[in-house]
Amino acid sequence: MARRAIPILKRLVQSSDNPVNVGLASRVDRTRSVTYMPRPGDGTPRAVTLIPGDGIGPLVTGAVEQVMAAMHAPVYFERYEIHGDMKSVPQEVMDSIKKNKVCLKGGLNTPVGGGVSSLNVQLRKELDLYASLVHCCNYPGLPTRHENVDIVVIRENTEGEYAGLEHEVVPGVVESLKVITKFCSERIAQYAFEYAYLNNRKKVTAVHKANIMKLADGLFLESCREVATKYPGIKYNEIIVDNCCMQLVAKPEQFDVMVTPNLYGNLVANTAAGIAGGTGVMPGGNVGADHAVFEQGASAGNVGNMKVLEQKKANPVALLLSSAMMLRHLRFPSFADRLESAVKRVISEGKNHTKDLGGNCTTQEVVDAVIAALD
């Protein structure tokens, strides 16, 4: 953990000296001076598990593969086919992810009411990917109704309402258990504050419904408050989830980092992604102590529908930006920067937008534009 923190901290210090770069998450950062001194051997190609997934998944992961090849990035992909209607994730895929530690995946479709438990949730629980992160911000060139949006939603990924413990008490009465534990709440709060600290964020907001679910969300809030005392430089406040959604729609600029339990995180992340430009654009990933799985940030529309699939007009931007996050996670910051600036340039030019952004391009056209924009 400290090993990974050192290059990031180095960059933080150096970028504060350099007037061009402002902070670690600088957006259009073309003139990065030499800041990263790799260890010998850091450039050997890394293996990354690739799961194309269902629906538009193969289309968008194909886009990432093309762009990576064009950049000659030091990653190579090990493909594994999984589909959402399988009973469980095959053992070979799990072994591959455990070996490579990093995975990139497209959406997996969970059939509604089909008695098949979600493979996405299974993957997260088995690999203990306890934090899900979605970064929602305005990209210049995207038409949105809201300005000044820059929200990171950090969502607890393993327990809460997604415990999957349901049973029928008597015919016509069904119970579902929502489980909140101090252990999981503490570690997600710790991750949120650590993220804020390492990325120079000023405020962490905890989202809850503790006026109704006093014990469950009360425990979550208690853990957040305890962790907040350890980071006195970061402001902490709490907001009830229905008020939070209303504020997101009215004044999104008041939010910075948000930490939430499982279900509220799903709603808040999708709402925040929607106001910032759509879920087809926002990057995100799931991270645990040992592994990381990168995918399209907010879950709505990550499988797409038949029309988008047939016309091949899926939006690859979200997965491209997530793969840039992945490259940074693998400690290839220069490649990550190049990819991110190319994608942002394509978005701001506005000539190659897919249907969900108001344009009419196919996925392939967007990929070609990104490859052309790489420097």
Is 254 a binding residue for another protein by CB under 8 A? The answer is: no
Q: In the window 291-350, what residues touch another protein (CB under 8 A)?
A: 298-301
Name 284's bridge partners: 134, 295
Give the tokens for residue 153.
Answer: 């939603």
Residue 82 CA to chain centroid, in angstroms?
Answer: 20
The residue (of 114 and 233) whose beta carbon lies closer to another protein is 114
Is 69 a binding residue for another protein by CB under 8 A? The answer is: no
Is 53 a binding residue for another protein by CB under 8 A? The answer is: no
Residue spans of alpha helices (H) in 304-362? 306-311, 317-329, 333-349
Is residue 105 within 8 Å of residue 94, measured between CB atoms? no
Question: CB of residue 157 vs another protein: minimum separation in angstroms?
Answer: 12
- The sign of the torsion formed by the CA atoms of 323, 325, 328, 329 equals negative
Is 72 a binding residue for another protein by CB under 8 A? The answer is: no
Question: CB of residue 328 vs another protein: minimum separation in angstroms?
Answer: 26
Question: CB of residue 220 vs another protein: minimum separation in angstroms?
Answer: 9
In Å, what is the CA distance from 375 to each residue of 3, 229, 295, 324, 334? 30, 44, 25, 15, 11
In Å, what is the CA distance from 228 to each residue of 190, 203, 215, 237, 252? 8, 10, 20, 9, 22
Cα 3 to Cα 216: distance, rounded to the nearest angstrom:
35
Is 137 a binding residue for another protein by CB under 8 A? The answer is: no
Which one of residues 168, 306, 307, 310 is an interface residue with another protein (CB under 8 A)?
168
The residue (of 120 and 363) whose beta carbon lies closer to another protein is 120
Q: In the window 196-215, what residues touch another protein (CB under 8 A)?
A: 209, 212-215
Give the tokens for residue 136.
Answer: 């929602």
**To 5 degrees, how large is the angle CA 308–CA 314–CA 320?**
165
Is 139 a binding residue for another protein by CB under 8 A? The answer is: no
Is 190 a binding residue for another protein by CB under 8 A? The answer is: no
Stretch that binds another protein, among 59-67, 157-165, 230-238, 313-321 (CB under 8 A): 157-165
Stretch that binds another protein, among 10-18, 28-36, 166-174, 347-355 (CB under 8 A): 166-174
Which one of residues 25, 121, 371, 373 is an interface residue with another protein (CB under 8 A)?
121
Is 70 a binding residue for another protein by CB under 8 A? The answer is: no
In Å, what is the CA distance from 206 to each residue of 48, 136, 203, 239, 257? 33, 17, 10, 6, 9
The residue (of 200 and 360) whose beta carbon lies closer to another protein is 360
In Å, what is the CA distance from 88 to each residue of 78, 290, 320, 355? 19, 21, 27, 33
Stretch that binds another protein, among 18-26, 47-55, 126-134, 173-181 (CB under 8 A): 173-181
* Residues in contact with another protein by the rule CB under 8 A: 110-115, 117-118, 121, 145-146, 161-162, 164, 166-168, 171-183, 209, 212-216, 218-219, 241-243, 245-250, 263-264, 266-267, 269-271, 273-275, 278-279, 298-301
